[in-house]
Amino acid sequence: MTLLKWPAKNLAADPSASQLTQLLNSLSDVVMMLDEQHQIKMINQCWQDITGISIEQTQGRTFTDFLHPEDIASWTQLMQNLRPDSKEVIWFRLISASGELRWCEMRLQSMEKNKLYPLSATLCDITPQVRNEQVRHASYRSLQSLVDRLPAMLYRARNNISWSMEYVSEGCELITGYSAENMLNQPQVSLGAMIHGEDAGYVWEQVQIALENRTTFSIEYRLTQADGKEIVVQDKGRGLYSESGMVLGVEGIIFQTTI
């Protein structure tokens, strides 16, 4: 019987185990293999770079040993719903050797067709992106808090006779007597209905002139609050336009000029 042999050129091209290890360790993402008990059976060098935990301290341990306690429930649920043909993506926090949290995105799938285990996973450190997003959210919350504390009403309204509100700051209650919730998209509680009847036409006309000329407007008029009290306010704003030049609405700030 003649034994089949691979051609010499294929043998030369076939990577050795050390070369495969070198290849895996050169990757900037974590690559790992998990068994049925979700123990880590193989993992590359990037894991140590991200977590500060050595490969020796990691292999053989259950993956949940490294998860933030609040994320274990999500991981458990994912594992319970996993199927051989599944390709899942999950975000979670790892606890590094120093105690620092590292946000990661994991892509998980079965290694063998029609067989759930072992699992292969790639894990990407997304901590910088998450931190940037957290900074943006914190900045937004700080700005929103500042806006809501102003003794004025910031608004964005549709360009109709009612000046229907699409956004209004919490300061609207100080100016109008109505809460922001009551003023948003509520036709029965509209800014237009609060403007004194003798001033409504003038306000509409001045805003339309400003919109046509693409200039800001500054208008003083009388406004009736929810309790029936009449006050004088200053309304400063400008138009919102589409790329084609169509008027999308107006935005501005209203503050009381008399007590």
* pLDDT confidence of residue 136: 65
Strand partners, 109: 87, 120
User: Pseudo-torsion of CA 151, 156, 161, 162, nearest 10°?
Assistant: -60
Contact in structure between 66 and 51 (CB atoms under 8 Å): yes
How many helices (H) and strands (E) the chain has is answered by 10, 10
Rounded-to-integer distance, Cα 117 and Cα 120, Å = 9
Single-letter residue type at 112: E
* pLDDT confidence of residue 139: 59
Rounded-to-integer distance, Cα 106 and Cα 222, Å = 59
Rounded-to-integer distance, Cα 18 and Cα 81, Å = 36
Rounded-to-integer distance, Cα 153 and Cα 229, Å = 17
Would you give per-residue pLDDT tens digits along the chain (259 residues)? 334 443 444 444 566 778 888 888 888 899 999 999 999 999 999 999 999 999 999 999 999 999 989 889 999 999 998 888 888 899 888 999 988 888 899 999 998 888 889 999 999 998 888 777 665 665 556 566 666 777 889 999 999 999 989 888 888 999 999 998 888 866 678 899 999 999 999 999 999 999 999 999 999 999 999 999 999 999 999 999 988 889 999 999 999 986 5
Which residue ranges form the domains of the chain, and what is each CATH number? 17-128 (3.30.450.20), 146-256 (3.30.450.20)
Contact in structure between 219 and 257 (CB atoms under 8 Å): no
DSSP H helices, 184-240, are 191-194, 197-213
Strand partners, 32: 43, 121
Token digits of residue 157: 């309204």
Decide: helix, strand or coil at residue 21: helix
Decide: helix, strand or coil at residue 178: coil
* pLDDT confidence of residue 75: 92
Least Cα distance to 241 among 213, 206, 205 occurs for: 213
